[in-house]
Amino acid sequence: MNNSLDSTQRIKNLDKASKEDFDLIVIGGGITGSGIAFDAATRGMKVLLLEKQDFAAGTSSRSTKLIHGGLRYLKEMEFNLVRQVGKERAILYKNASYLVHPEKLLLPIYKSGSLGYYSTSLALWVYDLLAGVQKKESRIMLSAKKTSSTEPLLSTKGLLGAGMYYEYRTDDARLTLEVLKTAVSYSAQAYNYTQVTDFIATEGQITGVETTDLLNNTTYRFTAKHVVNATGPWVDELRKKNSEDLNKHLFLTKGVHLVFSHLRVPLKHSMYFDTPDRRMVFAIKREGKVYLGTTDTEYHASNENPICTKEDKEYLLNAVNKMFTSLNLQPTDIESSWAGLRPLIHEQGKSPSEVSRKDEIFIAQNGLISIAGGKLTAFRKMAQKIIDKIQATEKRFGSCKTSHIPLIGSLGFAAKGYEMLTDKLPVYTLKFQEQKNLIRLVHSYGNASFEMMDKATDDLSLIYAEIAYCINNESLEHLADYYSRRSGKMLFSSNELLENQSEILAHFVMLKGLSETQIAKEKELIEQLKTEALGSL
């Protein structure tokens, strides 16, 4: 089978693809584009996906990393949306339990806050009902006394109690990669670092795209019957290139997250709490860290690599220090941070937090289909909507099947659940010292993680096995892309950016056969990564 995610075959595969005819070209390798490729490929379409950066380098690695039940939509009375995302969450949990983990959240209620005890109790009850939450995960309400014993970090002054409910935690970039790999296992082709620079039209209808392979500076033309623009914050840039009238357009807002050691923010539970300006902020526990976010501010600078500013940090530190008065967190406590852009649809007179998170589809006269807005959580349903539109014009493709298809890392155990995977871990615990790495691998790659553990003999060779797997199966082009999106180490294990750095780089150089100039570029990219995640702290 042609595995387009094997980066050792990249040039050969790209050359070949440029001579084929596709049913569908998807522009954008975030969760929206990957979901569309997944839906289309599983219906039997011949699909090509093109991404100008690394896969998931846009918003899809910069979210709060939650598969939401949509509590926020309840406030805006969007009942159908709550119902829909609740259902999507259950489907994803069934199909990718290695990637999606139930997380209990505490919702503290204060006399001076924006939430009332009884209204929160009712809202969480309605939410459970609409989202179809399982009985064992139904909300419970806690008294003030029970709340302080459950979470001693909370100040008792004015504390009325708390709600406890469930969200599901994921890794957004890993989810995107696993969806994409599943699409490729159904014969889709996907290439990163391939920028769409123009559209090709025949008799007024889009029939393909012109691209630049940014790694080799080569131009390719690809042809297809349908082209979808799923470029998130870049959607309008491509619509402009397609000479579309943008009377409905994007409104970008920036959201920032800060990461702290769990030792410095020793929360017993993840939390969702209100801020002095009556917004809501998450504090999520993950891998010995706690991350906090998010902000929501209008954004007008460059879409590539948005950064966390001093003001963003001050806003979040102020919110967290008001909620946990004993912590007194300082900027020097921040271990890493990230910033992402929400591709929202502009609504006249609404503030960033008020604008709806709904997705919207635009179809141009020449047939270019664009999709923007939406959520990570709703990716499967967004993809279904797009491919249903195409299928309506081409009946030979079947209906959507993705709700029944396990993601690639769950093959062989999906029906029995994720415990079956972790049950296998004790076999490996003697070989490796860092047990948390084994869990991270299972949570990232599912059953493919055992292939890495089988090959490795110690902790360092396990990293080598992971990198080799990513080169052969996940189009790993730069070592920096391993530290950021493949492994998440940049954000949640930033000390590892410095550990064994020269040995790991030397191994990567050997596997890829890089020249001196390319080695210098790899070093530069790792330095850039450090500056982005750790630099201005």
Count, residues near ligand FAD per rule CB under 6 A: 39
| 255 binding ligand FAD? (CB under 6 A) | yes
Residue 184 Cβ vs ligand FAD, minimum distance, rounded to whole Å: 17
**H-helix or E-strand containing 109?**
strand 101-110
Residue 146 Cβ vs ligand FAD, minimum distance, rounded to whole Å: 28
Residue 357 Cβ vs ligand FAD, minimum distance, rounded to whole Å: 7
Pick from 13, 25, 37, 51: which binds ligand FAD (CB under 6 A)? 51
Distances in Å between the Cα of 328 and the Cα atoms of 43, 99, 295, 313, 322 are: 54, 33, 20, 14, 9
Asked whether the bond before 325 is cis by omega within 30 degrees of 0, the reply is no
Pick from 28, 409, 446, 488: which binds ligand FAD (CB under 6 A)? 28
Give the DSSP per-residue string, 440-451.
Answer: HHHHHHTTHHHH
Give the range of 44-52, 153-161, 243-251, 383-391 binding ligand FAD by CB under 6 A. Answer: 44-52
CA–CA separation, 75 vs 218, rounded Å? 50
Give the x-and-dash track for 266-305 against ligand FAD (CB under 6 A).
----------------------------x-----------
Residue 287 Cβ vs ligand FAD, minimum distance, rounded to whole Å: 17
Give the range of 12-20, 31-39, 110-118, 318-326 binding ligand FAD by CB under 6 A. Answer: 31-39
Residue 116 backbone phi and psi in degrees, to 5:
-100, 155
Q: How is residue 427 written in tokens?
A: 């076999």
- 193 CB contacts (<8 Å, ≥6 apart)? 51, 52, 53, 54, 213, 214, 215, 477
Pick from 4, 64, 120, 147: which binds ligand FAD (CB under 6 A)? 64
Residue 379 Cβ vs ligand FAD, minimum distance, rounded to whole Å: 8
Q: Which of residues 230-249 bind ligand FAD (CB under 6 A)?
A: 230-234, 238
Instruction: Answer whether 141's CB lies under 8 Å from 121's CB.
Output: yes
Q: Which of residues 496-515 bind ligand FAD (CB under 6 A)?
A: none
Residue 516 Cβ vs ligand FAD, minimum distance, rounded to whole Å: 28
Residue 256 Cβ vs ligand FAD, minimum distance, rounded to whole Å: 7
Give the x-and-dash track for 331-360 against ligand FAD (CB under 6 A).
---------xxxx-----------------
Hey, which bits of 346-410 come out as E strands? 360-363, 369-372
| 169 binding ligand FAD? (CB under 6 A) | no
Determine how β-strand 270-274 pairs with β-strand 101-110: parallel
**DSSP category for residue 420:** H
**Is the CB of 115 or the CB of 230 nearer to ligand FAD?**
230
Burial degree of 517 (CB within 10 A; 0-12, 13-18, 19+):
exposed
Give the range of 9-17, 18-26, 46-54, 308-316 binding ligand FAD by CB under 6 A. Answer: 46-54
| 33 binding ligand FAD? (CB under 6 A) | yes
- 203 CB contacts (<8 Å, ≥6 apart)? none
Pick from 13, 59, 391, 410: which binds ligand FAD (CB under 6 A)? 59
Residue 57 Cβ vs ligand FAD, minimum distance, rounded to whole Å: 5
Centroid of chain to Cα 321:
28
| 97 binding ligand FAD? (CB under 6 A) | no
Give the range of 48-56, 106-114, 309-317, 324-332 binding ligand FAD by CB under 6 A. Answer: 48-56
Q: What amino acid is encoded at 514 in this protein?
A: L
Residue 13 Cβ vs ligand FAD, minimum distance, rounded to whole Å: 17
Give the x-and-dash track for 397-436 against ligand FAD (CB under 6 A).
----------------------------------------
The helix/strand/coil state of 298 is strand
Beta-ladder partners of 166: 104
Pick from 10, 52, 313, 380: which binds ligand FAD (CB under 6 A)? 52
The helix/strand/coil state of 426 is helix
**Is the CB of 254 or the CB of 489 nearer to ligand FAD?**
254
Residue 30 Cβ vs ligand FAD, minimum distance, rounded to whole Å: 2
| 25 binding ligand FAD? (CB under 6 A) | no
Residue 292 Cβ vs ligand FAD, minimum distance, rounded to whole Å: 12
Pick from 89, 375, 381, 440: which binds ligand FAD (CB under 6 A)? 375
CA–CA separation, 49 vs 230, rounded Å? 10
CA–CA separation, 130 vs 125, rounded Å? 9
Q: How is residue 190 written in tokens?
A: 């996907």
Give the DSSP per-residue string, 133-201.
Answer: --GGG--EEEEHHHHHHH-TTS--TTEEEEEEEEEEE--HHHHHHHHHHHHHHTT-EEESSEEEEEEEE
Give the range of 57-65, 178-186, 212-220, 434-442 binding ligand FAD by CB under 6 A. Answer: 57-65
Give the DSSP per-residue string, 435-490.
Answer: HHHHHHHHHHHTTHHHHHHHH-SSHHHHHHHHHHHHHHHS----HHHIIIIIT-HH
Give the range of 53-61, 75-83, 152-160, 182-190 binding ligand FAD by CB under 6 A. Answer: 53-61
In the complex, the residues that contact ligand FAD under the rule CB under 6 A are 27-33, 50-53, 57-60, 62-66, 68, 195-196, 230-234, 238, 255, 294, 340-343, 374-377
